[in-house]
Structure 1
């Protein structure tokens, strides 16, 4: 018989989990470093020792994003999607997810289209502009990450949001299946099978960047998202295993990092480290240890709250700024280092502006257009995160371990 869940350390999450907010910011920084790497190495070649490994292997941060999203979306909507919720409830769920990133996405995309048109008018070209027909339509409709593309166009990182959106669209089919895992052993097997989905698929068709980002990225997204859902299901049927993971959070993170290093040195995809990396998420959910404390600070949570904006603005900014900030205009190590700093600072400033001027007001406006879906959290996820960022002690206070409280984990991205 499965262990009965009970309100103790090691059970299902029962409140806002600050570390799962904070980790988003650090994962976004890894993604920024991946896309900054070729520009940094070109301007300051000595930085290659740091940036080249990040460039070639840091993409695993996105896989952890997918696991994190599967875990927290399952936490927030497990009861809502235990059976078909109805079109109205499902539509309100999708609307809530869109409010998290779509307004910023459209604003950044519009700015990028304008910048590309202006640069072409003056005889310049921003790389990876894409065309104004099919490529642009796929960006607007969030289908650029559904496979079949020949390259990353316009705002390249949007492929991952598009793939995650595909996961949301089939969530009413996925969660009831995951919830049929009623024992710890079944949940762990389900987790390993989910992790194996991208590994098996890409072992046949290749782990190259093009395949896993725009050629056929959905196996990667669905596999990691399902893995996160299986890990949350584990916390609902077992207290012992999650509690043990919580006591080993720091060690798990270290082993996961070493697995990435070993995979990179062996010349295999760091995606093979996914089964170890994913375990960090339920471990952090137990809210124990130094790593959890470090990721739960106000600074970390602010970074997590700004992560969507940073994720969406940094590549368009780097591509546009590279017309002025490049090895020719910033020659030598000293000027090159300054150029790297300007690229990073510019991304941070634009992320802050996008959050303050677009993301936060648009979220609040979109939430006013619909009533709360039956069974959904009483207070929107984003409001709880904002409260935790502004008043960390209040935000970290978990409510009672009720069914409603168990739906108060934060968004994965």
Structure 2
């Protein structure tokens, strides 16, 4: 646990873990088009990083805001969340719009039939993080944010934050525990009984996928909130190393159970989200920074984590188009392109943080007092 100038200790190791998970998300999206389906993706469980983000978010929100509600209004809290989240949402959607007509591919035959006004409307709606209906699915992938796919998780992040702010922060530890247990049962049922034997989904605006998105959000976010209230961190040496190994092992784990025993993979993901992710956050919150190098690494990873998540996917669209138009592309052939996107996205994320996100958030703080 790292003490900063803020009145509370800052969990720098958790920042580092969030950045590490964001990098793994990028590798998942780069590996995904090389697989033949959900069973053989190289980074097979990379999408679980989103569930880890939700848990981290709940933990940090509870830690930062639970003791402020006597002197803080709901509107103040929501302004702070908008200040934190929205600038990068706007940039991410803008990048997606800029690249939209240039991701020409046989897998997106609709793109060049989409009028400019329609793309502009989708971008402006995307700026709000609200989902677009299927009638505005201008890419044809049934995404609620067709200019930047990852926007779906920000929509559900906002829902969790709003629920917390309008009253769930008042829940006692006992009531919150009951809520979390029910949400955990719903999550396990989703994972084990789903057609693919996993929790993947939530990015389409229909009843089935909204249910997936809500189920994936409610347990980890409010489990993180509960963990922030009941945990008593101890001093754990080498916590960042141990947690990093666990995250790599969980997210890079090959598919379990194959095509015949899908429930086994669902059970694996349930254990990861319900048990292992809270354990990782607890260990990370209890960790001790050992060197200035580790401190700098965790800070850097934490700084780029959110910008990286929002800026990388517009470039993934180009990558997917390139692979789709070249049947039989191997990992070896795709690797140079993939690495350039990974490195370039990290560089862009850092530049976006320093030249756009931080200055804009500073301006918003001054404007809103």
User: Does the residue aligned with 2:266 lie in a helix, a strand or coil?
Assistant: coil
1:106 equivalent among 78, 90, 95: 90
Number of equivalent positions: 333
In the superposition, the TM-score normalised over structure 2's length comes to 0.74
The alpha carbon displacement at 1:285 in A equals: 1.3
> Are residues 199 and 212 of structure 1, via their aligned partners in 2, closer, same or farther at CA, if it must alter by over 3 Å?
farther
User: Does the residue aligned with 1:279 lie in a helix, a strand or coil?
Assistant: helix
Unaligned runs of 5+ in 2: 1-6, 258-263
Are 1:77 and 2:65 matched, yes or no? yes
CA distance in 1, matches of 2:190, 2:292: 36
CA distance in 1, matches of 2:51, 2:332: 35
The alpha carbon displacement at 1:317 in A equals: 1.2
The alpha carbon displacement at 1:73 in A equals: 0.4
Q: Which residue in 2 is equivalent to 1:226?
A: 222
What are the Cα deviations for residues 237-283 of structure 1, in whole angstroms up to 9, with x where unaligned? xx4xx439x58967787678777749834333543121222121122
1:181 equivalent among 165, 173, 196: 173
User: Does the residue aligned with 1:94 lie in a helix, a strand or coil?
Assistant: helix
Greater RCO, CA 8 A, separation 6+:
1
Which shifted more, 72-81 or 296-305?
296-305
| Alpha carbons 1:151, 1:210 under 8 Å: kept | no
Are 1:142 and 2:134 matched, yes or no? no
Are 1:32 and 2:26 matched, yes or no? yes
The alpha carbon displacement at 1:357 in A equals: 2.4
The alpha carbon displacement at 1:126 in A equals: 6.5
1:300 equivalent among 282, 298, 301: 298
> Are residues 222 and 209 of structure 1, via their aligned partners in 2, closer, same or farther at CA, if it must alter by over 3 Å?
closer
> Are residues 58 and 247 of structure 1, via their aligned partners in 2, closer, same or farther at CA, if it must alter by over 3 Å?
same
| Alpha carbons 1:327, 1:336 under 8 Å: kept | no
After TM superposition, list the pairs within 5 Å mapping 1:14-413 onto structure 2: 14-39=8-33, 41=34, 52-54=41-43, 56-81=44-69, 89-117=73-101, 132=119, 136=123, 138-144=125-131, 151-152=142-143, 153-172=146-165, 173-177=167-171, 180-181=172-173, 191-201=180-190, 203=192, 211-214=201-204, 215-216=209-210, 217-235=213-231, 239=232, 242-243=233-234, 246=236, 261=253, 264-265=256-257, 266-268=264-266, 270-272=268-270, 273-274=272-273, 275-288=275-288, 296-322=294-320, 328=326, 335-371=333-369
Which shifted more, 99-108 or 155-164?
99-108
CA distance in 2, matches of 1:294, 1:189: 41
CA distance in 2, matches of 1:124, 1:96: 42
| Alpha carbons 2:199, 2:266 under 8 Å: kept | no
CA distance in 1, matches of 2:152, 2:352: 19
> Are residues 277 and 294 of structure 1, via their aligned partners in 2, closer, same or farther at CA, if it must alter by over 3 Å?
farther
The alpha carbon displacement at 1:146 in A equals: 11
User: Does the residue aligned with 1:35 lie in a helix, a strand or coil?
Assistant: helix
CA distance in 1, matches of 2:254, 2:323: 35
> Are residues 224 and 104 of structure 1, via their aligned partners in 2, closer, same or farther at CA, if it must alter by over 3 Å?
same
Unaligned runs of 5+ in 1: 1-12, 372-413
The alpha carbon displacement at 1:224 in A equals: 0.8
| Alpha carbons 2:131, 2:152 under 8 Å: kept | yes
Which shifted more, 221-230 or 316-325?
316-325
| Alpha carbons 2:45, 2:250 under 8 Å: kept | no
Which shifted more, 225-234 or 167-176?
167-176
The alpha carbon displacement at 1:198 in A equals: 2.0
In the superposition, the TM-score normalised over structure 1's length comes to 0.67
What are the Cα deviations for residues 317-349 of structure 1, in whole angstroms up to 9, with x where unaligned? 121355567885997776533222222222122
| Alpha carbons 1:188, 1:230 under 8 Å: kept | yes
CA distance in 1, matches of 2:329, 2:189: 45
CA distance in 1, matches of 2:366, 2:345: 30
> Are residues 146 and 37 of structure 1, via their aligned partners in 2, closer, same or farther at CA, if it must alter by over 3 Å?
same
